[in-house]
Amino acid sequence: MRPTERSERELLLRDRALAGDGPAAEELMAAHLDALFEFIYWRVGRNRSLAEDLVQDTLLVAVDRLASFDARSSFHTWLCGIAKNKIRATRRKRRPLLVEDLLEDADEEIDAILARIDSEPLPDEVLEREETRELVSATLSSLPPDYRDALVGKYVEGRTVRELARRRGGSEKAAESVLGRARLAFGEVFQLLAKKRGGKP
């Protein structure tokens, strides 16, 4: 589904949910459940129980504030904004330089990176290095679902651009464009987190 079509679908589901259509609300939330969990999980020290609780809290707030979603950003981005506030409200003091602390400290810079992505290649081998696995997972959790799906499809599942395009329901040119932006986003966010941790990618 193309971004424009997705936004239109999300607005349609929002309107139906606000009109009292329970299944529409469930469909809207369920489509983002896995990505939301990953986003939160890496920001709470990989504490699965806490992440699950915060997902539920985030969704409850989202349902309550659904009328404020206007599709200026994706529904995923809107949910993550709510999640960030929930995480900050519940986080205890932690020792510095944990991955979840890096992510919180870098959130504004990550948002700025994602807002200005154009295209730039990322060395393929960075996804294969054992010593960077934790930062790779944390970086992927910070990316929009389209970017994450493109990178995982290409470098983990070994799909061709044609296969990625078929799965997205768009053209190969559009798939290449998304993959290019995903590479650049991954590279910059990864470098940012590695720098804040004091290590080298």
Burial state string for 60-93 with b = 16 or more CB within 10 A and e = fewer than 16: eebeeebeebeeebbbbebbbebbbebbeeeeee
pLDDT band at 188 (very low <50, low <70, confident <90, very high): very high
Give mean pLDDT, residues 35-49. 90
- Give the separation between CA 190 and CA 201, rounded to whole angstroms: 8
Q: What is the pLDDT of residues 141-160, one digit of tens each?
A: 999 999 999 998 988 888 89
User: Where do the H-state alpha helices sit in 19-120?
Assistant: 22-30, 33-41, 48-64, 75-90, 99-115
| All residues at 6 or more sequence positions from 18 whose CB lies less than 8 Å from its CB, including other chains | 66, 67
Q: Which two tokens stand for residue 17?
A: 């949910």
From 1.10.1740.10, 3.40.50.300, 1.10.3720.10, 3.40.1280.10, which CATH number describes the 1-92 domain? 1.10.1740.10
| pLDDT at res. 118 | 47
Report, in angstroms and rounded to the nearest whole number, the Rg of the chain calculated over CA atoms. 17
**Residue 45 in contact with residue 54, Cβ under 8 Å?**
no
Q: Which two tokens stand for residue 72?
A: 């200026």
From residue 108, give the alpha-carbon distance in Å to each of 81, 182, 201: 11, 18, 21
Give mean pLDDT, residues 64-72. 91
Indicate the helix (H) or strand (E) that contains 12.
helix 3-18
Q: Which two tokens stand for residue 57?
A: 């809290």
| pLDDT at res. 173 | 92
| All residues at 6 or more sequence positions from 42 whose CB lies less than 8 Å from its CB, including other chains | 99, 100, 103, 137, 138, 141, 142
Q: Which two tokens stand for residue 54?
A: 């915060």
Q: What is the pLDDT of residues 94-145, one digit of tens each?
A: 555 566 666 777 777 777 777 766 445 445 544 445 556 788 888 999 999 9
The residues spanned by each domain of the chain are 1-92, 94-201
- Give the separation between CA 43 and CA 1, rounded to whole angstroms: 28
pLDDT above 50: residue 79 = yes
Calculate the dihedral angle through the C-alpha atoms of 73, 178, 116, 129, rounding to the nearest 10 degrees: 110
